[in-house]
Every structure is written in structure tokens, then in C-alpha cells.
Amino acid sequence: MATENPDADTTQGIEADEKASPELKRADVLSFRCVNRILSDGEIEAEFALMRAMFTKAPTPADFYRVGMGSGSHLLKLTTPRADINQCVLRFARPGSNALPFLAPSLNAPDIPYAKIVYRPLEILGRVPKSVLDHIREPDDISERILSAFIAVFGGECLDAFRSALLGDGQQITKLPETGEFPIIFLPRSGGGDLQATPVSPVETFMGFKNMSAAWFLKQEKDAPPVPRGRWTKQSISAKPQNISGMIGGPRQRFFAQMPPVMRGYEASLWRYARGGSFPAWRHDDVEAAVLHYAGRLDMEYTNSDIRAGTDWYADRLIRDALDFIAEVQKDAREFLEKEGKDDTSLRDPPRPSALLFRRRWKRDDRERAMKALSSPHFIDRERVALEHMEA
């Protein structure tokens, strides 16, 4: 929800913005993201006028029509930038959801500024930021005022052209570029023969994956908690990514996933535990990194309520995951014994979460940090509360 900027000039309106920034740049007004320009209901038309002032020539209905036709949930240019501009956009609804699919524009570079007019979320005081595109697709009680202000500046024909292209059937893909870059899957037809299928990914996944993985590429600061790492690579998808979509520029990111080889070891340790042996070790690779991250938070010199709440959350997450593993082992052990016609009296009491978390092969330098964190008053207290809550 948009809120007032406490650092802004106390004078309201566009005039105040111009005084605070006499040399207003295109990026301050035209964008695919929020630009921190908080508007009142009476300033919407003036904001569109500022957008219009960024062009030497007024956008035409044809410009907005191209933006609407070039907006889709799946962009073929993510697979190959050589897809034809009129054969590169698909629109699919989200399976099993009533929510409208996320759209992004795939346009020629000269059309990107026009797209920013209708894609920029307008930050109106007291309301969730929504773009012209959003107000057309999912209107609310203020949508009529937004669209009327757009018409007052750009004209009704421009709105009608964009609306008809946006809400119409979109592009009809009839051919793929002859580059050999599209994956092809052949599926058997019920009546014989094969059906050729070409899988494509939603643009929302591309953007969401980049946002999710951003933390793995952060620079490790000295004396700061460890930054999470993984097997990630970045791969350029185009020398000019803005020609794929001005909304999602940048390289493609990939990661390497590998199933942990724990089944045989787990089955062997479960067999021993079911016959009175020690409790199986929790060998998940992420546990060590999570414990060391928690240890790093405990070592931070500066703290406040948000940091303390975050530290509580990390401790509780470790404890909860450990308790889930303990419950899973006990369930599997009882099922194992039940198949052999035996009761569970042979099962030894499970370890406390702190003992389970520490029971692994630590590197020499990490062992002391992990022990200090897992035996700290903070962790022991959070563990006590969790165990009392289970018993209750």
C-alpha cells in the first residue's frame, strides 16, 4: 500500500515534486516498477501529463495497440530471442486458479517507453499500487477515475486500442523460428501417431526465480552471518535483453539440483534404531548452514527488536524441523516393527533437537561455533518452550 514519503517536500502535488527535482528524468516517471511518487486522487491526471511530457511526439493508438498485443504470460523470446515480434507472446490462465496470469510485454525497443506508461504501478495514497493495465483487467472503485485521467491526457482512442488488444485473443502463434532452440516433446495420440509439443515457461517463473535466488549471490560481508550459497550459474540469454522484455532484463539463472544419497544410509540406521540402537543422524546438507547462520546472528554486536525476532524465528525453525525429523523417524520405525509383528518397546527415547542438530561431522572451526550456538541460553530456552508446547 502506498504511503507518504517522510522525506518529501511538505508542499503537495506535482509542483512540489518539480521543485524537489527540477530536472525530472524519464526513469523518475516512466518505469515498470514503483518510483516512489505518492499521488493524491487529484494528482493522477497531472502525473499522466508528466509521462506525456517525456515524449517529443504524443503516443498514438497504434503504439498502445502494439503494447497490448505484445503483452503475454509466456514469452517465446525467453527461449530464443530470434522469435518474430508478432509470433512470440502467449496467454495462458493459471491452472486451478481464478487469479489472472502475470503479464509482461515483449516488444521492440522503441515501444518499451509506451509500455511503461500503462505498466507503471501508480502509487496513490492509501491504496495498493496498480497500473493502467491492472485497472483494465481488475477494476476497482477508483479505476474509472484512473482511466478517465488517462483519456484526458492520451485520448480515448489510445485507451480503446490498448484495451481491445489487452482483452482480446492476443497473438495467434502459427510458426516457430527455424533455429532449433525450442525443446520438442512427442506425445502419443489416442488414435495413433504423435503430437508434437513445445513446452514454454511462464514469465512469472523467470522473474520469481531470479528474485528468490538473489540472496545466494550477495557478497559476504566481514563478521556478518554467512550468506547462503549453492550451485548457481548465470547464462546470458541475449546481448540485448531489453528486446526480450524491458521488464525482465538480465541473465538467466540456473541451479544444479541433486538428490541426496541418503536412502540406504537412512534405512540402515532405521533398522538399527528399531532394534534398540542409537537414533538415526539427520544428514540433510542444509542443516549445517542453517545452524551456522543462526550462530552468526547470535554473534552480532548490534541488535534491535527486528533482529531479535528474526533470531527467534531461526531458532524455532531449526527446532521445528528437528522435531519433524524425529517424528518421521519414530513413525517409520513403528511401521517397520509393525510389519515384523513387533511392538515399539525396543525404541529408545529420541534425542533433544539440540543434540540431534549437533550430531554430525563438523569442520574443526565450525564445531565450536555450532556447539556454542546450540548450547546457548537463547536456544535452550526456545527448545524448552517448544517441547513444553508439544507435551501440552
Per-residue model confidence as pLDDT tens digits over 189-198: 888 889 888 8
Give the tens place of pLDDT for each residue, 338-378.
888 888 777 888 999 999 999 888 888 899 999 999 999 99
Record the pTM.
0.58
- If you average pLDDT over residues 191-206, what whole number do you get? 85
Angle at 388 between CA 383 and CA 392, to 5 degrees: 150
pLDDT at residue number 322: 93
pLDDT at residue number 253: 65
Listed in sequence order, the residues at least 6 apart from 376 whose beta carbon sits closer than 8 Å to its beta carbon are: 298
Of 173, 207, 216, nearest to 78 by C-alpha is 207
Give the tens place of pLDDT for each residue, 281-294.
888 878 999 999 99
Label residues 291-322 b or e (16+ Cβ within 10 Å = b).
bbbbbbbbeeeeeeeeeeeebeebbeebbebb
Is 60 exceeded by the pLDDT of residue 18? no
